[in-house]
Amino acid sequence: MKNVYLSLLAFLIFGFISAQKAPVDYVNPFIGTSNYGATNPGAIAPRGMANVSPFNVAGRIDLNPLEKDSQWLSNPYVYENKFLTGFSHVNMSGVGCPDLGVIIAMPTTGELETDHLKYGSTYSEETAKAGYYSVELDKYKVKAEATASTRVGVSRYSFPAGKANILLNLGLGLTNEQGALVHVVSPTEIEGMRTVGSFCYNNAEAAYPVYFVAKFSEPAEEFGIWKTPYEYKGEEAQWMTYNGKTRVKEGFTREVIGDSIGAYMAYDFKEPREVEVKIGISYVSIENARENLEKEVGDLSFEEVYEQTKEAWNKKLKVVEVEGGNKDDKTIFYTALYHTQIHPNILNDFNGEYSEIATGKIGRTEGTRYTTFSLWDTYRNYHQLMSLLYPDEQLEMVKSMLAMYDENGWLPKWELNSTETFTMVGDPAAVVLADTYLRGLTGFDVEKAYEAMLKSALDTVNNPLRPGLKQYIDNGYVGVDSGVPGPVSTTLEYNIADYAIAELAKSLGKEQDYKMFSNRALSYKKLYNPETGFLQPRYSSGEWYTSFDPLAGANFEKNVGYIEGNAWQYLFMVPHDIKGLMKIMGGPQIFENKLDKVFEEDQYDMANEPDILYPYLYNYIEGSEHKTSAKVTELIKQYYKNSPAGLPGNDDTGTMSAWLVYSMMGFYPVTPAQPTYTFTKPTFEQIKINLNNKYYDNESVIINYQSSEQTSNSDKSPAFLLEDFFINHNDFLKSKEINLITVDN
């Protein structure tokens, strides 16, 4: 009887453990695929080069509320759209400009059709998980599934009996660039290249190729290529019977070059059949794409690749373990953490090779070369989170940025696949480098980093990172008449970068530099107009810009003084000198009243970076700290949901997700390049952060949170029972447990 009891107990315990969800099981890749979140639900490995995403933004307008060319659409997939034209294999997540979205595969049945408007299909039964996507194509009764390793996209198509085709369309894509090459190597292999580039319509001269090799598990009974030439006008057009008409070349095995081209594999199945397609990607060469495919995936089955990728995701996500909250809380939390592990992504091939920035020469790394540095966004919170949770990766990112300096002569600003896009304003790389070092991650050449930062901060001749620098140095601000867009925004960004340089200089014992850059970092005060109570544009002569309107520039409208924001949204963007800003405003009460108005008058923009830290500024006002927790909790509830529209807008390569991860854990890094956190009310009862013991002495930091009985029975806003609402990064790391308790205010 005892043995039976023990066996039953063991069964119940095992059953309970088995029923527990792992972090990876909470990921919902559909979050952010609506409301311009610009994420996609496709299959990707952590920081993967390959990303197999459904492509549903090109096609029938009656079925597509959002079509890729109808507006500034930067994503290969929109949740509401219902017309699928294939699966793209290189994509970006949460960006604001179109690029990539190419190498599009599509399974069809019946007779061959090469026009995506005709072969596209509505779809149903979508499923998305971390590293997996599947869908039923209504028109063809085909189930399409996708998974991926780091550099290889793997698809599985379940065809019914009869004629079937697998198309590889190299003409369609999100990029504004044109040109491709395709070559059918054999009945089981296609290789080629597609040109991409011109992100945010900038630096078109730096367009570049992405290479691929596609292998098919079933040899094609027929294969070929297609090409659609331009349609000529004028006299000669009447003699061209082939003018503008698609040519299909059956059995063609030589290279084909053009814009609207593609290749196909055709079958005639006697019974239902599955076909697996493995597509290796490289930004170096076709040979490297083939090696990536063979070394990473080889003969592994679809299921084996998915299991490996799923485990890789779970390993990444369980760096944070949470208890309490509900299913939706855990879903939005782990999906946000998932979204922070997509970009920056891996650029180097399996053999370490990558294309160098600017020159295009082939370099080789012993570590990891990262790309997709949306630094205007990510310097504010994202890299701080990486330093805490994934320090190995953060150090490799810093080393990648310094390698770009070696290759290009400048630090990156908004780098994508070894091209500088020159997108947005400021000198954000300096902030990331300094912040990383000051958080104790010193395993990089800090003197080279400092040299690079000084070049950006002092070189006034043809400086691509800091236009208008001479005027900034001479006057303390960039003037309206400088020719530099958004002079107020630009000045504030230069201030933050100078503060970062000053803090690093202080750490390195460079006292003279520390004093100079500390003074430069406070020059925002010259833009504060006490008569209006705003930081506002002025001319180099010192005169104020007379047509100033504090509301102009909201909702991404252009205005004279600001970039992606208005005077309200930039008023408090001085994270390195909050007390100083408070003083020139007239004291804490006026500061608080103005901060209240940002929220009360609907001037807070959760979807944009300049004001992203504002809810946490109440912690600087003695007696009003409770407003931070109340406001952060309200914003999470309002903007972050377990639904496709569950992001406040563009995820900005993980920046909005990083805000959420921090906020749900109960702390936030308000000041870039200052290793300090401020607290807010966590979403969960317990948060366990598993630290990397290669860098940190503690195995973990545990944050415990509970509400007092008084708080639960009161309508008053909660406040923390803490001696201080701020904690130094090093003290945080040394704290094995942090207990947060809310009491009546």
In tens, the pLDDT along 74-126 reads 999 999 999 999 999 999 999 999 999 999 999 999 999 999 999 999 999 99
Q: Using CA atoms, how far apart are residues 170 and 157, in angstroms rounded to an integer? A: 20
Q: Using CA atoms, how far apart are residues 494 and 476, in angstroms rounded to an integer? A: 10
Give the relative orientation of helices 428-438 and 446-458 as an angle to the nearest 10 degrees: 150
Rounded alpha-carbon distances, angstroms, from residue 299 to 185, 186, 294, 295, 350: 19, 18, 8, 10, 17
DSSP string for residues in 715-741: SSPEEE--S-SEEEHHHHHH-SEEEEE
Q: Using CA atoms, how far apart are residues 568 and 559, in angstroms rounded to an integer? A: 13
Q: Using CA atoms, how far apart are residues 39 and 32, in angstroms rounded to an integer? A: 5
Q: Using CA atoms, how far apart are residues 425 and 527, in angstroms rounded to an integer? A: 18
Contact 46, 34 (CB under 8 A): no
pLDDT on residue 239? 81
Ranges of the chain whose pLDDT falls below 70: 1-19, 708-723, 743-745
Rounded to 5 degrees, what are φ and ψ at 576?
Answer: -90, -5
Length of the chain: 745
- Positive or negative, the Cα torsion across 95, 428, 333, 21? positive
pLDDT on residue 708? 61
Rounded to 5 degrees, what are φ and ψ at 719?
Answer: -130, 160
* Sole residue written with tokens 């296609």: 190
pLDDT on residue 297? 98
Q: Dihedral angle at the C-alpha atoms of 352, 146, 213, 176, nearest 10 degrees?
A: -90
Q: Using CA atoms, how far apart are residues 330 and 344, in angstroms rounded to an integer? A: 24
Q: Using CA atoms, how far apart are residues 588 and 199, in angstroms rounded to an integer? A: 43
- Classify burial at 249, counting beta carbons within 10 Å of its beta carbon; exposed 0-12, middle 13-18, buried 19 or more: middle
User: Which three-class secondary structure state does DSSP give residue 598?
Assistant: helix
Rounded to 5 degrees, what are φ and ψ at 322?
Answer: -120, 150
pLDDT on residue 722? 60
- Check residue 194 and give left, alpha or beta (phi > 0: left; psi -120 to 50: alpha): beta
- Comparing CA positions, the residue from 43, 283, 261 lying closest to residue 172 is 261
